[in-house]
Structure 1
Amino acid sequence: MFSANQTFEAERKDTVRNAEATGVFCWQLATYPLREAVNITAEQTPYGVDEFERAGLEKVWSTCLKTPVPMVKESPVRFECEYYTTIRLPGNPPMGTVDVVIGKVIGIHISDAVLTDGRIDMSKTQPIARCGYFEYARITENFEMIIPGNKATLLGLEGSVKEHKALNDSEKINDDDESRPS
C-alpha cells in the first residue's frame, strides 16, 4: 500500500496512474539515508519525468511482475505488487485529496545488511515516516509487544512462515480426521 497526494490540478500522480494502467507497482522502504531522494520524488513534475534520474537513484528491475517495474536499488526493503484497488480520500481542493493504492505483494527483496537473526532489524533500516506538515520522523529504536490471547490468532504477525505452515498442516490433519467416518 502507498499513498500519493493528488496534484494541484486535482490529477493523479504518475505512480498512481501507472499502477492503475499496468496492474503492477513496486513499493520500497523510505529510509533516512534516502530522505533527500524521497523529498525530490515527491515534487509535482509533468507526467513522464524520470524521478529516478531527478533524484539520482539507481534502478533495479522487478523480477516477479508481468510488466517489469523499476525499483530503488538503494532501498533495503522492496516489494513487488499486483494492483488491487485505489481509494480516493477527498480533501478540500486544491489540496488534501489523496489516493491510497492497495496491492498484493508477490515478491520481496530484503538486503542481508538489514537482517538480524533472519528478521528485518528496523534500527538498521532507519525508516522514515511522514508525520504531517513538513515533519518526518526517523525510527531508530523499536520495542515488541505481543498481543495477549490464543497463539493461533497471532499467526503471521511474528513473521514465521515455518510456524504458519506447521499450524496450517496440523489443522488440515485435524480436519481430515474429523471428516472420516467413525
Structure 2
Amino acid sequence: MFYRPADGHGLPHSPFAAIVSPRPIGWISTRSSTGDNLAPYSFFNAVGYTPPQVMFAGDFRDSMANAMESGVFAVNVVAAEALEKMNATSARFARGTDEFAKTGVAKAECVAIDCPRVADAPATLECRVVKLVEILGPERILVGEVVGVHLRDDCLVGGRFDVTRYSPAARLGYHDYTIVRDVIELRRPKDPNPV
C-alpha cells in the first residue's frame, strides 16, 4: 500500500503514529496564574546534549500556554506503574483544573524553577523555555533547556540511571502503549580507519 497523506489513506485510522513508534511520553507539568497542570504528550524527545534540551509538540493548549506564561515547564518520566494515572491526566479538563489533585498524582515542587513535578517519577527534567516553533497545521513545538534533573535514588545502579528499575512506558499508535522491559547494550564499533 502507498498513500499520499494529502489524499488520505482510506483506512479506519491513520497509521502515522503507529509507524513512528515507540515514542517516549513527556508528562508535562506546568504552573500559571490559573493553577497547576499535568498532561501527557506523545510527541516528546531530547533534541540537544550540550546544553541538554528537550521538546514536546501538540496543540497550543494549557501546557504550552502555561509554559509560555511562566517561562518554565517540567518533564516527568512515566513508569509502568504510573500508566493509568498518566492516561487519566490526558482528559480534557477545564482550564485551571489541577490534574494532580483530580487524578491523585502526588505533587512535589521543583528546585531550579517555579513549577510542580510528579513526586514519585523515576526522573524529572526541570526546563526553561527556549523557543516556541510554529509548524504546519495547528500544532506547535516547544523547546526547553534542562536546568535541573531529579533522579529517584532506587533508579541509580552502579552510577548509571537504570531504566530496568522502573520500566518506562512508551506510546505506540492508536490507543496502544508499551512497557520497556528488555534492554540490549550495543557499543559503537571502533573506526577501522582512524585518521
Pairwise same-fold verdict (TM > 0.5):
yes
- Cα–Cα, structure 1 residues 41 and 145, in superposed 2: closer, same or farther, change >3 Å? same
What is the Cα-based RMSD across aligned positions, in Å?
1.7
Match of 2:166 in 1: 125
Q: Does 1:84 align with 2:130?
A: yes
Match of 2:177 in 1: 136
| Per-residue Cα deviation, 1:139-175 (whole angstroms, up to 9, x for no partner) | 012112223356xxxxxxxxxxxxxxxxxxxxxxxxx
- Cα–Cα, structure 1 residues 14 and 52, in superposed 2: closer, same or farther, change >3 Å? same
Letter of the aligned partner of 2:176 in structure 1? E
Query: Radius of gyration: which is bigger?
Result: 1
Correspondence for 1:75 among 121, 134, 138? 121
Aligned counterparts of 1:4 and 1:73: Cα–Cα separation in 2? 24
* Bigger fraction of residues in helix: 1
Correspondence for 1:47 among 95, 100, 103? 95
Aligned counterparts of 2:129 and 2:111: Cα–Cα separation in 1? 16
Aligned counterparts of 1:129 and 1:38: Cα–Cα separation in 2? 11
Deviation at 1:76, TM superposition (A): 1.4
Q: Does 1:113 align with 2:154?
A: yes
- Cα–Cα, structure 1 residues 2 and 58, in superposed 2: closer, same or farther, change >3 Å? farther
Q: Does 1:56 align with 2:104?
A: yes
Q: TM-score, normalised by structure 1?
A: 0.70
Q: Which runs of 5+ in 1 are unaligned?
A: 7-11, 92-96, 151-182
Q: What is the percent sequence identity of the aligned residues?
A: 28
Letter of the aligned partner of 2:100 in structure 1? F
Letter of the aligned partner of 1:31 in structure 2? A
Q: TM-score, normalised by structure 2?
A: 0.65
Note if contact 2:71-2:128 (Cα within 8 Å) is conserved in structure 1: yes
Count residues in correspondence.
Answer: 138
Match of 1:179 in 2: none
